[in-house]
Structure 1
């Protein structure tokens, strides 16, 4: 564009020089005509003076010799008449040339005025093009900065995903170790039960032997021996019972640890899915920003899915059914979006315009983490708010934000997160 401007300026300079040369030539032509007219007037005046002088001399000669002056007088009159005719013709020719030059001067002046106006218009167009070029350069710089910021966020999220995968693998390995310990303890319990049954069998055998020995040996000696054996068996049984209780206690603890690990695993899996979805959304947003110049002329209704509305590189959706705040956010995430985040007054007016009269809708605003500290769903704080007068008031634990349709342009209100409302998604 700068090269085009330089070419235009050079063409204008060349044209001005040509105009100045033409004007300079015309000025010299007018001066030449003026000089010729002046000389002609001097010649005519000299001829008239000569004629007067000659007439005076002829009168004097007529007084002295009137008979001899008729022929020279006739010749002089003829010569004077011829000169007068030539001078009159030359005068008419010069007047005609002067009129033609005057008409040509007027035409050139008109052309000069038109070209001057055209030059001013071209200068105005050039100035507007420079302004538009500066605006486009500023817009390109802003888009480049946003792309760099999104790439940095994507790198951070990718690193966080790597950490989460590492933690998941460690938890999975810990779960496998606990499962192995549980299997070992179960095998030990089975072995102890087997030993206990064997001891019971041995006891029964010993009792049978004891009854046989009663018939063959003395009863007191056998009774003493059997008492001792019984005491030993009871001690063994008590030890086995204590071991069984300890094993059952350990088994209960291991089962509780397993349930806790299963719960944590489910939570980490859900977090992983959410982070993967956010990463995909960031990748999609980056692709949209990279192809902004290519889609600049595409109608806005083709940039968003069906029933979504386009506004400043983002898509918005208002539900037709009602859910609580948590379920509404899940519905937005399932669409690759999240509850709307309002960053400026223009977006506030647009979101308000999506609602009909007396409609309320959930937005991505909550203070459920810290009471009184309102945050957006992307963990950023609220910088510009549009609360209703007297809100938020945390009436009966109201921790979620909603958009209220009003005649004054839409306001925010805090409501219970369990309330059933419409919701607005953004992606």
Structure 2
């Protein structure tokens, strides 16, 4: 292959590779949304609100997780691109060095060829001179006896010419060796060119793979964007329904409050059944049986009541007066759902408290139910106790 054809082919392949690596890679960071989470409709307001909040949190976590995965994929592709660019730069430098070496060897080969031609011409000239002298020597042979001295000179000249001929033959062999060396160097350059072309093809394959991965990521991103828009639409619809339910709930609360006022008026004039004690609008009963907190509450519910709820100082004094001295009884509060957060059996938080000094202390970590301890004086008589403990209880109706 001619040196000019090798050089042109190498540069064309180089430019094609450079164009593919520089202009085709373009990743964008995007946060990725999540998949659809179905929300159950028709629940009460509190359950619907909790479901919506859980859906929103789930959506945010999945979106962040997908964003991290896409970011990791983008970083890996960017790192691979940098490695490919570094390899391309190294190959370009090696090509330049090989081109310089090839040019230097070509110049040296031309110089040797010119020298060889000059020496060949000189050899031909010397050969012609030798032939002329040989003819003159033949002509002078007849007068050898008279020209002995001239004959010796001619013999010396002949020997010198023979020596020159041998030197020219040796230089010819050296030029032949140099020619073989140049041919070997040309073959090595051809091998290097083939290796570079193979590396270029491998880089092109890697680039095509990265382009395919980029297209797949773009398709996934578009799909997730559509899912996000659909979830946003569903969320907005659920939000509107929630607001409508909230309005209905507020209306029901107003109706409930009005009904409670009417019920309280009725209860205020209603007498308690036998064995029950009346205080304001409620009736109270101190059991004669001893049970754990859960079974005590079941007994109260069976009577149409529940464990007592104490929400005022007067009621605390009244309940304390119903019990005999030093008697401990169950009342309707517990922190079994969340440790340290006490609530009444009707779900309302305990805000007005009458804990005994140092209580509640959740002794050994298992005291989750409330009791009242009868004292002759003072109203701070509440204590936390293990719910499985068996004792009496007070119902409120």
Range into which the TM-score falls when normalised by the shorter chain: 0.3 to 0.5
Q: TM-score, normalised by structure 2?
A: 0.41
Q: Say which structure is richer in helix.
A: 1
Considering Cα pairs closer than 8 Å and 6+ residues apart, tell me whether 1 or 2 has the greater RCO.
Answer: 2
